[in-house]
Amino acid sequence: MAIPILKQGPWLIASIQSALSDSEILELRDDLAEMVGRRRARGIVIDVAGIDVIDSFVARSLRTIAMTTRLRGAETVIVGIQPDVAVAMVQFQLDLAPLHTALDLEEALEVLERQTTGALADGR
């Protein structure tokens, strides 16, 4: 099942509606890395509200997406981490750093605006 990726202005938005297999998360990584260049996106929002478990592989994969797309010129923000998932991630010491996180799409777009505006002003 391919994850739909929408373009909204300079942003790409991927909404994960259910648990992903390892191959699906890797496909998402590859799709986003390719779309950043093709669509000239400056930022990505990944909505994980549909995921009820973020294990170490998914956490590493989300970090990899952020680092890969940053090398392609886009910042990444993760939104929609469920309260139970956040508690479990802390208990299992899963870390999404250097990813940015936000509560919802509106906040994520504000984060991206601040991140990319600062980057453009710095010439990056």
Domain boundaries, the chain: 5-121
What are the C-alpha distances in Å from 66 to residues 62, 77, 81, 83? 6, 8, 16, 22
Amino acid at position 34, single letter: E
| Axis-axis angle for helices 22-39, 56-71 (nearest 10) | 20
Residue 103 main-chain phi, psi, to 5 deg:
-70, -45
pLDDT for the residue numbered 119 = 55
- pTM, two decimal places: 0.90
Whole-angstrom distance, CA of residue 51 vs CA of residue 96: 15
pLDDT for the residue numbered 118 = 65
CATH topology for the 5-121 domain: Transcription Regulator spoIIAA (3.30.750)
Local mean pLDDT, 10-residue blocks, the chain (124 residues): 90 94 94 95 96 90 94 95 92 84 96 81 48
pLDDT for the residue numbered 95 = 78
Q: Which of 47, 43, 54 is nearest to 15 (CA)?
A: 47
